């Protein structure tokens, strides 16, 4: 006689947490079985916990999967067909190791943000402005990532960035953050694909529109295919691509240092020439004689912050990978710290050395009327002026690769965000959105969430249209950057309430069993919250000053702020939600679960190169009565 656990149906609502009507509660049932049984532990996101029991030796799986579902799923041939295409399970594949967590996040962060924004920031702020902007925004990123790392280390769940505000603030903010982050990632797919097509014109500037259209099609199809294949394939591809991108940034940094040291056609030593005198910072704001002096310089540096924030967007992606990590409580804290440290070091060092080679008054830097190719990058400008003929083309190929891999990662993030928001839905509870919370049986990829997340991808074909049509993509991209800053601010707000709510729980931040304790809290979270809100509120100040008034710049700066407020207010009035009291915060839904024992660490450097060896086990012969937990066969 053995015991199995089956969940109480989802209409059960515990009284201690009104914000979470379904907490998994298990009842003990007696089950007949004969022969040895082998259990493996994992996670089932549909149950709201990390339990996942599987009987390796039982048979007749198809008969079990057709049993009456406790969640109200319809049965029959029509459902079988939908189940085949939409996905036959509700849990993600758990196979990402520490190296995958780090490299997927770096791949989504190191795109064209550095190349594109560094050109604009150098033109606006000079050598002083570019170093200050990337350093100060780097501190903001560190503050935000510290908050995310501690919360997700304790509660690793799908769609963590939207569910943390839902747990610790209220459900309206959680929904608003989820929609915002999904839009940010989905819109970046179109924006980055458009940029890929534009960068590809570096070698052939007289391309026909149909040629650009075919390139956009190829870029999108390959991205979708890689994501459909499953997270295991996706993780290995991103791991390889991220190393190439890191090598590219390091090589560009070394070349910039060499050029400033005399490796140029004049064999001239630049030294710190562009860090002194008139080259430190422009005398006025973007050539406007009415904004000169101290005020003009201050506004120039302030305007650099938004562009620098655009380069850092994506560093939070590591939180989306935790739900598919094999050992999240062991690997995620290290991966979160490693991600932002590597990103900040790469960015600050690269802009530091390229500012030694290119001054702010260089006419080739990115301007509002410029058509973006790799030629406007300060790295390429430095190589051309140094008389290096081959490297600019190679660097442009690297920029194209960076943009494509970043778009690939953004589709992964958008699909996991959508999946996390729709997990646990059934045809009975939500007949429209329930397929978005399912994954395919073979690959474990949320196929429908991937397809729906490509809804903005056709906007990339506007690269074949006129410049006015391309301005639309520019507006949407600016909205995505502001949306990401609002998501960062929401994570800091959620952590502040998370921090003060811990005193009503059984957790102790100083305990050795506590997964990860971030430093200097809650001051760090307050700094991150205030900094993000200030950048968002004042990023479009020039819209109201510069004449004539440009509706394009206004929409890019403030439209998503208005949408964010409207979604939050509308949902709050409709559902009449309330802010979760500190005493009722839920810290435990994902904590009572067991994971596979994590092997000992081999060190931070060796972990980045470690590949998992396949484990071959003989299949035990067992028989017994079968039951199901959320579609997973158990004994």
Asked if pLDDT for residue 421 goes beyond 50, the answer is yes
4 pLDDT exceeds 60?
A: no
108 and 75 within one domain: no
| 483 and 536 share one domain | yes
CA distance 409 to 103: 10
Kindly state whether residues 69 and 195 are assigned to the same domain.
no
> Could you tell me the pLDDT band of residue 203, with boundaries at 50, 70 and 90?
confident
Q: What percent of the chain is modeled with pLDDT above 70?
A: 75
Residue 344 or 472, more confident: 344
Encoding tokens for residue 541? 């100040």
- Is pLDDT larger for residue 349 or for residue 202? 349
pLDDT value at residue 76: 52
Do 16 and 151 lie in a common domain?
no
**d(C-alpha 78, C-alpha 83), whole Å:** 8
- Res 412 pLDDT > 90: yes
Per DSSP, the three-state class of 6 is strand
Better-scored residue on pLDDT, 577 or 266:
577
> Is the domain of 112 the same as that of 77?
no
- Sorting pLDDT into bands at 50, 70 and 90, what band is 83? low
Check whether residue 68 and residue 115 sit in a common domain: no
Answer whether residue 70 is part of any domain: yes
Q: 72 with 122, same domain?
A: no
Domain annotation covers residue 604: no
CB distance 421 to 178 below 8 Å: yes
Question: pLDDT per residue over 16-52, tens digit each?
Answer: 444 444 444 444 444 444 444 433 333 433 333 333 3
pLDDT exceeds 90 at position 523? yes
pLDDT of the residue at 170: 92
Residues 20 and 114 in one domain: no
The arithmetic mean of pLDDT across residues 450-465, rounded, is 87
Q: Tell me how far apart the alpha carbons of residues 588 and 591 are, in angstroms, rounded to a whole number.
A: 5
Report CA dihedral (134, 478, 342, 252) to the nearest 10 degrees. Answer: -80
For 593, phi and psi rounded to 5 degrees? -90, 160
Give the residue with greater pLDDT, 71 vs 104: 104
Q: Is residue 81 part of a domain?
A: yes
185 with 231, same domain: the answer is yes
Return the pLDDT at 594.
44
Higher pLDDT, 75 or 474: 474
Each residue of 293-327: pLDDT tens digit? 778 788 888 888 888 888 898 889 988 888 888 88
The partner residues of 633 in beta bridges, in order of sequence, read: 628
* pLDDT tier for residue 431 given thresholds of 50, 70 and 90: confident
Residues 250 and 213 occupy one common structural domain = yes
pLDDT for residue 53: 36
CA–CA–CA angle 555, 556, 558 (5° rounding) = 65
Q: Please check whether residue 593 lies inside any domain of the structure.
A: no
Tell me, yes or no, whether 589 lies in a domain: no
Same domain for 434 and 331? yes
126 and 35: one domain? no
DSSP state of 521: T
Q: Higher-confidence residue: 288 or 610? A: 288
Tens-place pLDDT, residues 524-550:
999 999 999 999 998 888 888 777 788
Which of the four pLDDT bands, split at 50, 70 and 90, describes residue 175? very high
Range of weakest confidence among 99-113, 478-492, 600-614:
600-614
> 291: pLDDT confidence band, cut at 50, 70 and 90?
confident
Q: Which of 355-364, 365-374, 469-478, 591-600 comes out lowest in average pLDDT? A: 591-600
Helix (H, G, I), strand (E, B) or coil at 31: strand
What is the per-residue pLDDT for 574?
Answer: 93
Indicate the number of domains in the chain: 2
CA 562 to chain centre: 23
Does some domain include residue 241?
yes
Check residue 208 and give its pLDDT: 53
- Is residue 72 predicted with pLDDT exceeding 50? no
- The 10s digit of each residue's pLDDT in 318-362 is 888 888 888 887 888 888 888 899 999 999 999 999 888 888 888
Q: What is the pLDDT of residues 558-614, one digit of tens each?
A: 999 999 999 999 999 999 999 999 988 888 765 434 455 556 555 555 555 554 544
How far is residue 329's CA from residue 351's CA, in Å, rounded to a whole number? 35
- If you average pLDDT over residues 50-62, what whole number do you get? 38
- The answer to which of 42-46, 233-237, 343-347, 397-401 has the lowest mean pLDDT is 42-46
Domain that holds residue 497: 98-584
Say what the pLDDT of residue 475 is: 80
Confirm if 89 and 631 have CB atoms less than 8 A apart.
yes
| DSSP-derived 3-state class of residue 92 | coil
Residues contacting 530, CB < 8 A, separation 6+: none
**Measured distance between the N- and C-terminal CA atoms of the chain, rounded to whole angstroms:** 11
Average of per-residue pLDDT values in the chain: 77
| Torsional sign, CA 103, 105, 111, 114 | negative
431 occurs within a structural domain: yes
Say if strands 632-634 and 623-624 run parallel, antiparallel, or are unpaired: unpaired
**In terms of pLDDT, which residue wins out, 632 or 129?**
129
Burial of 610 per CB tally in 10 Å (0-12, 13-18, 19+): middle
Helices (H) and strands (E) in the chain, counts: 19, 8
| 231: in domain | yes
Provide the pLDDT confidence category of residue 372 given band limits of 50, 70 and 90: low
């Amino acid at each position: 006689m053995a015991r199995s656990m089956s969940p109480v149906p989802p209409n059960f609502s515990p009284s201690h947490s009104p914000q979470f009507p379904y907490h998994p509660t298990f009842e003990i049932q007696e089950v007949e079985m004969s022969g040895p049984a082998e259990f493996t532990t994992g996670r089932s996101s549909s149950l709201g916990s990390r339990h996942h029991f599987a009987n390796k030796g039982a048979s007749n799986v198809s008969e079990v999967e057709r049993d009456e579902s406790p969640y109200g799923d319809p049965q029959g041939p029509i459902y079988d067909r939908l189940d085949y295409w939409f996905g036959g399970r509700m849990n993600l594949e758990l196979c990402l190791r520490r190296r995958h967590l780090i490299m997927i996040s770096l791949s989504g962060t190191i795109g064209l943000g550095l190349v594109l924004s560094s050109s604009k920031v150098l033109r606006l702020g000079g050598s002083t402005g570019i170093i200050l902007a990337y350093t100060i925004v780097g501190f903001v990123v560190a503050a935000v990532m510290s908050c995310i790392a501690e919360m997700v280390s304790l509660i690793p769940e799908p769609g963590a960035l939207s569910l943390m505000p839902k747990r610790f603030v209220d459900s309206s903010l959680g929904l608003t953050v989820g929609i915002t982050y999904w839009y940010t990632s989905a819109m970046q797919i179109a924006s980055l694909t458009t940029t890929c097509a534009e960068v590809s014109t570096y070698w052939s500037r007289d391309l026909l529109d149909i040629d650009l259209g075919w390139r956009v099609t190829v870029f999108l199809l390959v991205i979708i295919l890689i994501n459909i294949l499953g997270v295991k394939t996706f993780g290995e591809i991103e791991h390889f691509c991220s190393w190439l991108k890191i090598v590219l940034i390091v090589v560009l940094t070394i070349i910039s240092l060499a050029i400033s040291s005399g490796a140029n056609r004049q064999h001239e030593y630049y030294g710190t020439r562009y860090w002194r005198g008139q080259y430190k910072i422009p005398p006025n704001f973007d050539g406007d004689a009415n904004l000169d002096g101290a005020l003009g310089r201050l506004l120039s540096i302030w305007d650099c912050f938004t562009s620098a924030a655009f380069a850092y967007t994506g560093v939070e992606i590591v939180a989306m990978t935790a739900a598919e990590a094999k050992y999240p409580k062991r690997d995620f804290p290290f991966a979160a710290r490693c991600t932002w440290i590597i990103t900040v070091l790469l960015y600050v060092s690269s802009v530091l050395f390229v500012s030694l080679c290119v001054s702010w008054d260089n006419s080739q830097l990115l301007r509002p009327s410029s058509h973006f190719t790799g030629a406007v990058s300060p790295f390429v400008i430095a190589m051309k002026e140094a008389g290096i003929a081959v490297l600019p083309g190679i660097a442009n190929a690297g920029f194209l690769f960076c943009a494509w891999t970043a778009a690939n990662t953004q589709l992964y993030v958008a699909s996991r965000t959508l999946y996390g928001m729709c997990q646990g839905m059934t045809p009975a509870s939500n007949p429209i959105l329930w397929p978005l919370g399912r994954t395919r049986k073979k690959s474990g990829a949320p196929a429908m969430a991937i397809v729906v997340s490509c809804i903005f991808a056709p906007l990339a074909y506007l690269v074949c249209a006129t410049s006015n049509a391309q301005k639309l993509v520019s507006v949407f991209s600016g909205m995505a950057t502001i949306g990401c800053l609002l998501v960062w601010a929401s994570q800091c707000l959620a952590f502040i309430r998370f921090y003060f709510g811990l005193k009503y729980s059984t957790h102790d931040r100083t305990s050795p069993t506590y997964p990860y304790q971030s430093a200097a809290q809650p001051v760090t979270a307050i700094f991150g919250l205030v900094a993000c809100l200030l950048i968002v509120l004042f990023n479009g100040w020039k819209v109201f000053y510069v004449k004539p008034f440009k509706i394009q710049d206004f929409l890019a700066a403030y439209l998503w702020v208005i949408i964010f407020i409207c979604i939050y207010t509308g949902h709050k009035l409709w559902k009449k939600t309330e802010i979760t009291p500190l005493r009722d915060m839920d810290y435990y839904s994902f904590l009572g679960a067991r994971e596979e024992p994590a092997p000992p660490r081999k060190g931070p450097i060796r972990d980045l190169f470690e590949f998992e060896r396949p484990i071959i086990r003989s299949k035990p012969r067992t028989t017994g009565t079968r039951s199901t937990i959320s579609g997973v066969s158990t004994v």
